[in-house]
Amino acid sequence: MESREIGVLGGDPVQEIRLSTPAGAQALVLSYGATLRDLVVPLGDGRTRRVVLGYQSIEAYRHNPCYLGATIGRCANRIADDHFVLDGQTSPLPANSAGGIHLHGGPQGFSRRPWRVVEADQSSVLLALTSEDGDQGYPGRVEVTCRYHLSDSTCLRLEMTGEADAPTLLNLTNHTYFTLADDASADDHFLEIAARFHTPARDTLIPTGEIRFVEGTPYDFRRLRRIGDAKVPYDINFVLDGADGTVRPVARARSPQQDLELEVHTDQPGLLLYTGSALFQAGPGLEGQKHGPGAGFCLETYRFTDSIHQPHFPSVILRPGERYTHRCEYRFNALA
């Protein structure tokens, strides 16, 4: 493990922690936003490949408008109508997206905050953040942690936890953009998702509340297929098969040449597929990476978009004495 200060954002020093394995995998994690800046995996023939999008300049992470690699909270994705009601109390939220929508925890959500490095070693780092009562409009004081662990089997495991001193919302996710080949389009990757249902959304990307079969729609990824075959820009939630709370395989993606595979395992009920239609070059990419539309895709595990307004969706309410837990694993396998 190597930890070093690489700059200052918002008056706070930014630590970069390098995790590595004997097989040649490496991950770079930033204390700012508990962000995955870089991930390189071995291919099995002595070569390695970068599999995420990141910025070369630390300054690009100050606002990080596309949320590259960031930990999102308090509540991932969108909440409609810039407020929610919990136990009869209305909590106004800052609208930071068109149509009065609260996006990714607000303009100063967890992705744009300094986290504390609690502990770190060669293979893992634990980061922590305190979100005070009223932060971005949310009630209650929340203590959250995010641990990154890189194993010899080329698995990057994320473990997120949270506790609150008053009823509030908590729904974390990681917003890494994957690309399993240099300069490859998201559309040219192959994808399979273990989901028989999805939650249709309006033009605002707020779910309608329906839960529909994927069969006969562009959202049917039950068999491995090329993402771009349906010619749809994806930004949609899938209702994952299997028991909520049980870590299980839920998705796999392959590079366009099918020489590298990514498996996603999680204990969460939902997965948001986003193929980067609004992605843009907000700063120089790592070693010249291009960050235009479709340059990467996100596989965000979480508890559904706008769940607080849909009682039949998985609950995002966290009460005192409860503990929020979220586990997600990204496992890489060289196929050739």
What is the model's pTM? 0.97
Res. 131 pLDDT band, cuts 50 70 90? very high
Say yes or no to pLDDT of 309 above 80: yes
Res. 44 pLDDT band, cuts 50 70 90? confident
pLDDT of residue 46: 84
Which parts are annotated binding residues for beta-D-galactose?
77-78, 175-177, 235
Say yes or no to pLDDT of 314 above 80: yes
Q: Is 163 a catalytic residue?
A: no
Query: What value does the mean pLDDT take over residues 52-77?
Result: 97
Q: How far apart are CA 51 and CA 190, in angstroms?
A: 15
User: Which string of DSSP letters, residue by residue, matches 252-280?
Assistant: EEE-TTS-EEEEEEESSSEEEEE--TT--
Query: What value does the mean pLDDT take over residues 7-18?
Result: 95
Domains of the chain by residue range: 2-334
Catalytic residue among 175, 189, 291, 326: 175
Give 51-64 pLDDT, tens digit per residue: 999 999 999 999 99
Query: What value does the mean pLDDT take over residues 277-291?
Result: 96
Which parts are annotated binding residues?
77-78, 175-177, 235
Q: Is 210 a catalytic residue?
A: no
Say yes or no to pLDDT of 241 above 90: yes
In CATH terms, the fold of domain 2-334 is Beta-galactosidase; Chain A, domain 5 (2.70.98)
